[in-house]
Structures are given as C-alpha cells and as structure tokens.
Structure 1
Amino acid sequence: MVTTPTDNPDDPALRAKPRPWHAFSYRDYRLLWGAMVTGSIVAWLRILGTAQWLLDETGSAVLVGLIGVVQLVVQVPALLWGGALADRMDRKRLMALANAITGATLLLLGLLNWQGLLTPPMIYLGIALTAASQMLANPARSALVPIVIPRPYLLLATSTDTASQNAAAIVGPLLFAAVAVSSGLSAAFLLGGVIALGSSVLPLLIRAKGVADGHADGPERSTLQQTTDGFRYVAKHPILPGLFLLDAGITTASFYREILPVLALGLFGAGASATGMLGAANSTGAIVGSFVALLLAGYRAKGMLVLYASFAYGFILFGFGTANNLWLGMLMIAALGAADAVTVAVRQTTVMLTTPDHMRGRAFALMILAAQTANNVGTIWVGAWAGSIGAGNTMLLGGAISVVATGLIWRIWRPIREFRSS
C-alpha cells in the first residue's frame, strides 16, 4: 500500500512541534531532496566546465559571454513548456527524463573532449540542451513537494531546499576545481554526466502520485492554451502577483551576485580575492537565513514574514553601500543573503499553499521566470548605475527603492498582509 503524508489536523504527528530537519522524516522528500542537490551540483559542473572550456580553447571573453545569450534563448520557452507539462503528465517521469538528457549530454561532451573532437558549436549545443532540461525539471520538482510533505511542514521543506541549494553552490565549484585541476575538463564533464544519470533514477523511486489532481478536468487543451491559462490564473490570484512584483522590484534595483567583482573594486578597492570572500559570505548567509526560516515554520503570517524580510533586505543594503572595509562588507552581504533566503523560502511556500495541484507547475514556472528576468535586468541596472554613480551609491539607491517598493506592496496588497497559513 502506498502511503502519503496526511494533512489531517487531528494527526498527533502534526500537532507536535517539528524539529528543523523534520522534512527528512518523509521518504519521498528525501528522494526529491537528493535529486535537487545532485542536480544543483551537476549544474555547477556544467556551467563552470563549459565556460572554462570556451576560455581555454578560444581565449575569447565574448564567446564565453555568449553562454548567457544561448541560455536566455532556450530557458524561457523551456520553462513555460515545463510548467505546462508538469500539470499534464507524470512529474516524476518528467524529472527523470530531464535529468537523463542532462546526463547523456554531459557524457557526450566529456567523450568528445577526451577524443579531441569537441568544438565551440558543440559546446553551445550542449549548453542549450542542459539549460533547457534543467528548466523542464524545475517546475515538476517544485510541484511535487506539497505532495510528499504535509501542508504545515512546507516551510520546513522549502527552507531545507534553499539551504541545500546554497550549500551546493559552494560544493559544486569546489568539486569542479578539484576534478578539473587533477584530471581535466573531460573528467569534470563525465562526472557531471554520471551524477545526472544517477539523479534521474531518484524521482522514479517516489511512491506518491506524480500526476496532478484535476489535470484531466475539462476539454483537452494545447500547451499554448495551458500556458495562457497559467498566466491568467496568476494574474487573478489575490497574493501571487504582489509577491512576484515585490521580488522583481527589489531584485531589479539591487541584484549584485553577477557583478561582485565590480562591487569589490568599487566599494573596497580590491580584486579577485575580495570577490571570492564576498561570494562565500553571501552563500553562507543564505544558508543561515534558510535555518532562520526553518525556525519560523510555525509563524502563520507568511505574507508579513516576506514583508519583514524585504524591509530588512532594503535597510541592510544601506549598510552594505556604506561599508568602509571588507570585513564589514562581508557581514552586510551575508545578512543580505540571509534576508533573501527567508523571502525565497516563504514565497515558494505561499505558492504551494495557495495554488491548486493542477495549476502548481505553471505557477512555479511563472515565479521562476519572473525571478530570472529580474536577475538579468538587475544585473544590467546595477552595472550601469555602478559605472555612473559608483558602487556605494548604487547600493544606497537600491536600498531606497527596496524599502519604498516593500512599503507600497504592504500598503496596496492587502491579501498579502492578511494571509495566514493553516
């Protein structure tokens, strides 16, 4: 007999105060978590491996930069398609197929490089395939979490996911460096392929159902129609548009991760070592913030929790922009990572709690799309302003915009203020 988590409030297990690691007590979640962590590590092996290969073989920073163009072209349609597929087919099989495509592609890149046959067009094709497959898997994986975890523990699960993804952002590059230096890029590609193929098996071991409830209700609709339905649903949702706009406004005004070298030079007159220290501090802070979110799992006013963390993020930007030494800057950017991790975990939990199962894949796809678009625009915005008014003033401007944007959402979006989880 297949057992699934219960949401029955009379269940004694749900009345007990959960420990921060309680999500791991659910077998299916452990499998989902394993697929997510290994997938994140594989993504870093792919990202760093392809960029390093292009730089080593061509010496052109422009060709390395084209990676972003290739990813942007394929990720948006793949993400929207993945959201629609996650609501109409078995999500476990969709994840398995996407991870298998990633694994096969990386194995092929590794073998071609080992034989000296790899070329830049092949690398770009591999980037396109793996970037698209990652986007196909993400909505399906997120939509499965509420199936394998009871509703009261969803914030525990999303916080654990956020912490684990940030940990993978540390482990992945370190693993790449160790393998690439000791055994070469072919070995890094092959290792990523083997891990991805192993990861493709994990979703198939999940016992919970993989097909969305209500997916067969109504007439058969095309993928385009399903995607349009998803846009309409999110647009009419009382909470999600406000949360997505809040994230987009703050991120556009202050996205700093992609231009840390600019901030390290502009704020502290430092180079690559400072860039690495700031990046490590930010990831560490994000992990700490995820554990803070774990401790707040029982806090019912989830909408206000997002607003509190967003206000904190804006005010911390003031501290980062005025930091006069690297150590203070590391403390501030760690705090930024912590505040951002709380908002990410709570935003994902809110989507899970307020979206019906047959719409969840598309809702997550649109959330990811909004976040990625804001990241790209934010990189351009922050880079342009840093070159115009200086890095410190850009962070101060971002802090002011973040505080004002949060205040406007708090004032205008009443459903966010009043949202309470059960």
Structure 2
Amino acid sequence: MATIFPPDGEEPELPGPAILDPSPLSIPDYRYYWVARFTAVMATIAVVVVIGYQLYDTARTDYGMTIKEASFQLGLLGLVQFVPIALLTPVAGWAADRFERRSVAIFSNMIDFAIAILLGWFTWTDALTLNLLFGLAALHGVARVFSGPAMSAIAPNIVPPAILPRAIAMSSIAWQSASVIGPAAGGLLYAAHPTSVYIFAAALLVISAWTISRVRPVLPPPAEVRRHPLREMVDGLQFVWSKRFLLGTITLDLFAVILSGATAMLPVYARDILHVGSEGLGLLRAAPAVGAAVVALGLAIRPIERNVGVKMLWAVAAFGAGTVAFGLSTNLLLSLALLVLMGAADMFSVFVRGTLIQLNTPDHMRGRVSAASGLAISASNELGEMRAGAMAAAIGPVSAVVVGGAAAIGVTALWSWLFPELRRARTFEARFDSDD
C-alpha cells in the first residue's frame, strides 16, 4: 500500500479555460508531471523487482543458502531500504518546503540513474555480491525519501482544487500503470539479457528528469516566520499527531501492511513455489497494479463521495483476506487473480487516505506532512518485508504470508474501534474541528 499522493493546496493562477476544463490533462504542466511520474515509477519498480530476484538467486546459487535463509535476506533488503527513509524523512520534507521542488525531484531521479548504471555494470561483469546489492538498495532508499515529498508537493500547485480529485486519480493511474508495465518489462528484459533492464531504467529516468524540468518552477511557499530547520521538521509530525482522524488513517495503513506485506516473498514464490522464474516474478509484481489501475480509472471517471471511511476499512480487510488466500495458492493463475484483487482493494483505501490528506493540509506544510505520510507508507512496506522475511526464516514463507494476512484483518477491526472517526467519515470534507 504504497502509493504517495499530493495533498490539496491553494488555487494556483491558471488560465480560465484550464480551470473550467474538467480534465487535469488540459493543463500542460500537469501533463509533464504525469509523464515524469509514469516514467520514474516504471524505471524504479523494474529495478527493484530485479534487485529482489538477483539477491534471492545470488543467495541461493552463489552462497548456497536454503529457502528460509535466502528469504531472510529478502527481509534484510527491505530493512536496508527503510533505514535511510527513517533517518532522512524529516530532512526530505523540510527540503520540499524550503527549496524549489522540481530540483529536489530531479536530484532524486539522478540518484536512481546512478544506481541503474552501477547495477548494469556489475551485472555485465558478473561481479554482484550481497553486500553490493544491499548497499545500492539503501541508496535507492535515499532517492525515494526525497522524491516522494517533492513530487507530492508539486501537483497541488499546478491544478486548481476543483479538479484535484480527478488529478489524484489520474496520478494514481500513472503510478499503477507504470507498476504494471515496469515489473513485467523488467522480468522479460532480465530474462532476455540481465543488463538490458538497467539500460531501460536509466533511459526512463533521464526522460523523467527532463519532463519534470518542463513544469513551471514550483517555489516553496513563503512562511510567516522562519524557524530553526529542526523545529520546522518536527512541525509536520506534530500536525499529523494532533489530527486524530488523519493519525488513525495513516496508522491503519502502517500496521496493516507491516503485518500483511507479501511483496518480499514474491521471489520465493516465483522461484521455489510456483516455479515460474524471473518472467513469472514480473507478472506477480505487476498483477496488484492491474487491479489498482482498474480501480483508479473508475475513480477518475466517478470518484466516490459517500461513506468513505467505512469503504476504506472494508478495503483494508479485503486486502488482508486476499493475502491469506494468496499465501495458500500453488497455482499461477489463481495467484495472479488474487494479487489483482489485492491491488484493487489497496487502491481503494489509498485513494481515500490520499484524498483526505490532500484536502486537509496547508500549502506551507505540504512537504513535511507528505513526508510524514510517506514515512508511514515506507515503514509499512519495508518493515513489512522485514517482518515477512524474519517470519519466513522461522516458520516458512507460506505460513509467514498467511499469518500476516490474518493479522491485517484483526488490525482493521481493532482500528475501527480505536478510531470511530474512521467509521463515521461520510465524505471527504475536512473534519478536524471535532476530533482534535
């Protein structure tokens, strides 16, 4: 449950026709932004999928590890990506609020470009080691932590609030369609020639950096009083903590995905359970994005307006139930179908959470609040991978996935009781006045 969406902000100065047009794609800046997001996500996800497969295969082949031992290495892969995210999230949010946001996004793209080039070289020379893969994965975590808040803070400044819900859904289409194409392309390219996937990713990252540079400058909003950078970093976390509804929404995703995350185990399923290799891994990684893209398209055409809180809770519970069923499956087609359903449920809950954040965050805190939300998302993804890897080392990968999915259902029930505000949310209107 990993997609980060931009929060709402003040209406920018746009030509009259763009404001009246119901499509965000009528705004040139948004078109550039959409392409930049699409190409960057496609590149980075293709690389991440292949890194996971290479690490697992290297551990099994070159280091002679058992399935459980190699599964634990996949858990460590999630941990090394999370550490820089945890340490640098406050800095990244502060940077998105203090510096020109396009420059921050381009900087993160160039880090990922360097990673792709290095991985391509070491793959070509057959010099990959576990330590090298862990190190480059950690560097990717650095790129992600700066990219998320900066990209999230750009979009609300280039579309008016009236069409922001459609822009949110269309941004999700960019993310999810890239998440479909990226893993599938990565797996196929890796099977054809291992180095080719990294050339593909490097080219896409250059395109992404160029298109985001074509967006008009997105300067940080003026602050009434500039305080010490550390104080400003803390402000974003305090804002989230003080808003009970927002806190419940973010932490629901955090704990549900920490417990039910099965992504880290996909290389295990591809290689040793379903026996479908790197091509099959690409399909497994792409399947959730197919379901998410379909839901995102539906939401772009007709966004939900009523009973948003209850629908979000049911979507998270459905995600947990799908995880349980996937863990038990030994058939590729059934596994793919379950992953599609999981992606659809995930997209639904992500849309609700993202829209609530966007419509209730002031522009001058947008980067920091996005960073706080991104930290929760990253923690759920990467720590979820660590949880899955550690549990798989103890009880096996199948049991780790099944137990995690069941626990996510329990968390959803618990959060509906601890945060009744979630159940009571009828619309996306601001509701912080009554729940502080």
Same-fold call, TM > 0.5? yes
CA distance change for structure 1 residues 48 and 237 in 2, over 3 Å: closer, same or farther? same
| 2:254 paired residue among 227, 248, 257 | 248
1:158 corresponds to: 168
Describe the superposition over 1:385-417 as per-residue Cα deviations: whole angstroms up to 9, x where unpaired. 9949956576445334323423542x2458845
- Greater shift, 345-354 or 123-132, is seen at 123-132
Task: Give the alignment of 1:100-111 within 5 angstroms.
Answer: 100-111=110-121
What is the TM-score of this pair, normalised by structure 1?
Answer: 0.79
Aligned residues between the structures: 403
- Greater shift, 25-34 or 116-125, is seen at 116-125
In 1, distance between residues paired with 2:185 and 2:335?
Answer: 27
Task: Give the alignment of 1:287-326 within 5 angstroms.
Answer: 287-297=293-303, 299-301=304-306, 304-315=307-318, 317-318=320-321, 321=324
Q: Which amino acid aligns with 2:212?
A: P
Describe the superposition over 1:273-299 as per-residue Cα deviations: whole angstroms up to 9, x where unpaired. 5985765543321112212322343x4
1:167 corresponds to: 177
Describe the superposition over 1:107-127 as per-residue Cα deviations: whole angstroms up to 9, x where unpaired. 344346556777665554433
Q: Tell me how far 1:136 sits from its aligned partner.
A: 0.7
Unaligned 5+ runs, structure 1:
none
Q: Does 1:134 align with 2:111?
A: no
Q: Does 1:218 align with 2:225?
A: yes
Q: Which amino acid aligns with 1:194?
A: A
2:62 corresponds to: 59
Q: Do the aligned residues in 2 keep the contact of 1:112 with 1:118 (CA within 8 Å)?
A: yes
Q: Tell me how far 1:191 sits from its aligned partner.
A: 3.2
- Greater shift, 317-326 or 97-106, is seen at 317-326
| 1:338 paired residue among 340, 344, 353 | 344
1:401 corresponds to: 411
Q: Do the aligned residues in 1 keep the contact of 2:152 with 2:367 (CA within 8 Å)?
A: yes
Q: Tell me how far 1:198 sits from its aligned partner.
A: 2.7
Q: Tell me how far 1:218 sits from its aligned partner.
A: 0.8
What is the TM-score of this pair, normalised by structure 2?
Answer: 0.77
Identity in percent: 24
| 1:192 paired residue among 197, 201, 216 | 201
Secondary structure of 1:239 counterpart: helix
Q: Do the aligned residues in 2 keep the contact of 1:317 with 1:398 (CA within 8 Å)?
A: yes
Q: Does 1:367 align with 2:373?
A: yes
- Greater shift, 129-138 or 245-254, is seen at 245-254
Q: Tell me how far 1:333 sits from its aligned partner.
A: 4.3
Q: Do the aligned residues in 1 keep the contact of 2:44 with 2:112 (CA within 8 Å)?
A: no
Describe the superposition over 1:217-262 as per-residue Cα deviations: whole angstroms up to 9, x where unpaired. 213422x222111111211235321211222243344333333578
1:36 corresponds to: 37
Task: Give the alignment of 1:91-106 within 5 angstroms.
Answer: 91-106=101-116
CA distance change for structure 1 residues 15 and 245 in 2, over 3 Å: closer, same or farther? same
In 2, distance between residues paired with 1:181 and 1:74?
Answer: 31
Q: Which amino acid aligns with 1:420?
A: E
1:236 corresponds to: 242
Describe the superposition over 1:340-388 as per-residue Cα deviations: whole angstroms up to 9, x where unpaired. 1022122222222111111111111111111222234445666749949
Describe the superposition over 1:192-234 as per-residue Cα deviations: whole angstroms up to 9, x where unpaired. 2232223212222112x4123234x213422x22211111121
Q: Which amino acid aligns with 2:167?
A: A
- Greater shift, 378-387 or 399-408, is seen at 378-387
